[in-house]
Each structure stands twice: as structure tokens, then as C-alpha cells.
Chains A and B, each alone.
Chain A
């Protein structure tokens, strides 16, 4: 990532020095110690107070754990459910059934790829209407069989393409929102990376919102916001700050319930720590929600939504 470049340069220098190092060169050893200390200091300053734009960059890191990684780490006996029963199977959206700590759950999640091939097939995690319709179908299935829903958010947004519009991108998202608002099962949403606009929201609200420390959730991408305001996508950093899109901002607005801490530098530096943080938060959320009378869940969820927003003259 751009802001990490000074650190990467030092780390490369250190590695090359270490390759040269032999025990009879004390001056080299001193230089290595000096460099290590400098790297330590840079670590502190780089990551101590990340800007919103730096967090957005971390949320998009190619090595960041993705929905597939959480499926493998947190769940057992995963059964994927394919297709929207209408036109196709969108690989940008995962839907399936799984076991979480002995509890059955329905899992939905945006699916970015690990490599170029996967990313092309999955449109870099940006669903078409087929993806939203598949998700909506599985929401209804979960409702019918009383299975709690767990969703993973990681998308830049719904795919902006001709075919997506022809097949009703907007309507497919609207129907997800309507269905998700009314399911009589607990809904726990986990923001693991990008929370881009309507495409994220389609599976992105419920009874609890857990956010990873460096995940974001926004009405518009910082680049697009900067383009609209200043006709200059390079001012995305400034736009990120204005939009108040970080996990901490979401807690401030009362939208997020829990923030899962990430290791210094981001989730990709130590995925296991993050998986265990998410496991714990998800487990606590499901425990709390399973105590509630299921028939009251839609009303409680509606009240939660009704409180969102700031208004004068009400």
C-alpha cells in the first residue's frame, strides 16, 4: 500500500544487509540494529493513527482475509447453495448453509477472488442481480426453516454494467432489503473489508453489526465522492475523512455494535487473530439473539432502523 512504502523500503534494506552479515563485521551488526530500531519507530508512527483513507486501503488489501477464508476458518460442514432460480449463478455472492460452533446458520457473503482468474469470474466481488436474487432466495429459505443468518460484507458495490441494469440491479437490491427486514430469524452482519453502498447494504443490516477495525461502510466510494465534489478522484483521502466511514465512526453513529481489533498493519498480517476475534463476536451476538422471542425480531430490527438518522423539527 502506498502509505507503507517507506516501511517496505527499510525492510528490504534490512533484509539485504542481513544477507551480507557475517560475525566478523561488527560495524555491519551495529547498522542492522540501528535499522531495526528505525523500523520499529516507523511501525509505531505509521499504524498508531491510521487515517480513514489508509484504513480504506487496508480494507482493499489483496491479501486481506476474504469471505472464503472466514468460511474455512469459522464454519464446519459448509454446503453452498447455487443460483437464483431464474437466470444464473453469480459467483460474486456466496450463499449456503453451515455449522458454527454446533449451531446451524445460513451464510451470505460478497466474494472477492484470490487471483486474477477468480476475480474476473467474480467481478472483483461486485454482484449482478443474480447474486442479490440468490441471496434473497436464501434469506427466505432461512426464514422458513428458522435458521439464523450471518453475512460477510466485502464489496466495492453492485456491478455497474449494461446487463446488470437490464436485469434489474436496483429492484434486486430493493427486494433484498425488504426481505431481510422481515425475516423472523436473527441476522448478524460482519463487515470484513469493503462496505460499498447499496451492493453492501443488500445483505448489510440486521440485528447486530460487527465491524473489523479497518473495514469501512459508506454510501459512496471515496474516489467517486471526490470525483463528484472536486472532479478529482485523487482527493479520495479528503473524501474518506468527510464521509465518516470507519468502524469507529459507525460505532459513533450507533450503527455498529462491536469492533474486532486487527493486528498492526491489518488483518492480513495475522489472520488467525482476526478469525478468533470474529468467532468470539459472532458467537456472543448469536447467543444474545437466540434468547429473544423470534416473532419479535422483525419489529426490533425495524425499530433499530427507524432510529437511524438525524433530523430537526421532529
Chain B
């Protein structure tokens, strides 16, 4: 499916980071947006052509899971798996918002079954198991279903000896499923360890934001860790750190570039070159199977 089709739905979304700019009087609404980075008013067509990267300042705006798939995998190659899995409300969590309602409304708003989409695809002609998280779905937090879909993606990659590529974005473990969410960290990390032991490649693309229990489990266990520019990646949220140490945080704290500087990730890759880079890494890492 052409990228532009995926992008069409973008105007109805409420999470889109570029904000609607007041349009010049003679053009229809929704054609101009303001970059969240440099505040420049941009023509939507230009922004989309650049895969939602600001042509002026390079700011990488958040994109949905379908949009991510459209720019990462070969056109028409994606076949979803485990699409029927749905969250339940094991704790009957009703403090604040009713969890069951939150799930239902996220489903309706995003058209997704949960905060991650997984399946088989090819990238630059090479087969891969692919999983993409979508921050719009309750902050792409990891509850039982996200954990299950991630674990199954590892198991599928292992069974088919096909490299796994996961694109992460998450606020962390899903509070509303309590300790069951916490245990998904152990479950997914254990699945990652089994894939690693079997010598099947696993590439992670960390995108904005990847935090908490997701960073502290499967998201940092890849053979290669790639981050998109300017993404927030860490364990403790910046506000918590600030409150704990009672000091203001250094500029760029927990950004992709900060992680690169501290030796925690392999590389920062511009979204516009991401697919080629992943494809190249797949050819290197999968060479042993040829």
C-alpha cells in the first residue's frame, strides 16, 4: 500500500505531534502544520515525503505502527500474526479511568487490537519477523497482551530461524495490569535470551519514547540497538529523576544522542535511511545461514 494512504488517516488523529498551523487564507485546513521542533510552518505534503521528519530542523515526529510498517518493510510484504489477541482487565482496575474503557477507546481510536503489531515481512528483500509498537495505544505500555505478542514474535523468529526486527515506543509496563505487567518484562527477556542462544539475529529500533519496563527488558537485548534521532530513551522518567535528585537535568538527558555518547546503543539513524540500514545489517548478521 502506498505510504500516502497510510498518511491519509493522520489528519483525524489527535496525537499527531505536528500541530495544525493557522492556514494562509486561501488554502484548505489541514494542509499546513507546525513543526514541534523548530516551529516552522510546513506543507503537509513535504513533511510526508520526508517520512514526518522536518525538512528544516530534522525533528522526527511520532508516527503510528501502520505508518512505521509502511516505511520499514517492503511494500505489500507484511502479514500480521496474532491479530486476534485482546487485553482483559485482570485486576478490575477502576481507579482513575476504567481500564476496560481505556482499552476499548484505544482500539476504536487507533484501529489496532493492542499497542504492538507483529507479523512476517521482508525488508530489502530479506525475510524478517517484525513488530512495531504504537504509542497512541495507552502509551504503548506493556500488559499481558503486548508481552505475549512480543514473546510469540521471538518464538516465531526462533521456529523459522528468521531475524527479528522490533521497533519500540512505550511508556513502560502497564500499571493497570499490576504485577502481571511487571512479569511480562521477565517473560519477554527470557524469550529474547532463547533467540540469542539459538544465534538468530535480533535488531531493535528504539523510537520516541521508549521508557521503563520495556527499555529494561526486551528492547535493550538486541544484537544491534538503533535509535531514531532525538528519541527519549531510558529507565526512570525524567520528571522522577528530577524530583529524586532535586537538580535540573542536563540538556539532552536520555536522548538517543546521550545514549550513543555513553556507549549504550550502537547508532543513531535518520528515519529516511532506516530501512536501508536495517536491510544492510540483516545481510551481515544473517550471513551465517547462507
Contacts and interface: CB of A to CB of B under 8 A. Distances in A.
Interface centre among A167, A204, A302 (most CB of B within 10 A): A302
A160 to B, nearest CB: 3
Contacts of A242: 91, 93-95, 178
Contacts of B86: 311-313
A46 to B, nearest CB: 25
Contacts of A308: 144, 180, 183-184, 187
Contact of A219 (B85, B173, B240, B250): B173
A219 B216 contact: no
A205 interface: yes
Given A174-B217, A178-B196, A311-B86, A245 B178 contact: yes
A161 interface: yes
Q: Chain B, interface size: which category?
A: 35 or more
A314 B88 CA distance: 12
A174 B244 contact: no
A205 B237 CA distance: 24
B193 A178 contact: yes
B179 interface: yes
B245 interface: yes
A250 interface: yes
Contacts of B37: none
A68 B184 CA distance: 30
B166 interface: no
A198 interface: yes
B75 interface: no
Given A197-B213, A310-B180, A181 B193 contact: yes
Interface in A189-230: 197-198, 201, 204-205, 217-220, 224-225, 228-230
Contacts of A293: none
A102 interface: no
A238 B95 contact: yes
A170 B216 contact: yes
Interface string B163-175: 0000000000111
Interface residues of A, number: 57
Nearest to A305: B187
Contact of A160 (B192, B221, B241): B241
A215 B190 CA distance: 25
Nearest to B174: A219
B57 interface: no
B190 A301 contact: yes
A161 B145 contact: no
A288 B193 CA distance: 26
Given A160-B244, A198-B212, A177 B190 contact: yes
B194 interface: yes
B148 interface: yes
Looking at chain A's contact residues, is the secondary structure mostly helix, strand, loop, or mixed?
Answer: helix
B64 interface: no
Contacts of B179: 217-219, 243-245, 249-250, 253, 255
A67 interface: no
Q: Pick the most buried of A164, A238, A301: most chain B CB atoms within 10 A of its CB.
A: A164
Interface string A273-314: 000000000000000000000000000011001101111111
Contacts of B177: 219, 309-310
B159 interface: no
B148 A239 contact: no
A164 B91 CA distance: 32
A198 B185 contact: yes
B151 A306 contact: yes
Contact of A181 (B144, B190, B241): B190
B256 interface: no
Contacts of A220: 173, 175
Nearest to A219: B182
Contacts of B95: 225, 229-230, 238-239, 242
A174 B241 contact: no
A219 B250 CA distance: 28
A311 B144 contact: yes
Contacts of B184: 308-309
Contacts of B254: 165
Contacts of A182: 190, 193-194, 197
Interface in B48-97: 84-88, 90-91, 93-97
Contact of B185 (A158, A177, A225): A177
B133 interface: no
B147 interface: yes
Nearest to B250: A162
Given A229-B96, A312-B88, 7 more contacts: A160-B240, A179-B193, A201-B183, A229-B97, A244-B178, A250-B179, A309-B183
20 contacts: A161-B245, A162-B253, A170-B215, A170-B234, A173-B216, A173-B235, A174-B215, A197-B182, A204-B186, A230-B96, A242-B178, A249-B179, A253-B180, A255-B183, A302-B190, A302-B194, A305-B186, A308-B180, A309-B147, A312-B86
Interface of B: 84-88, 90-91, 93-97, 113, 143-145, 147-148, 151, 173-175, 177-187, 189-194, 196-197, 212-213, 215-221, 234-237, 240-241, 244-245, 247, 249-250, 253-254, 258, 262, 264
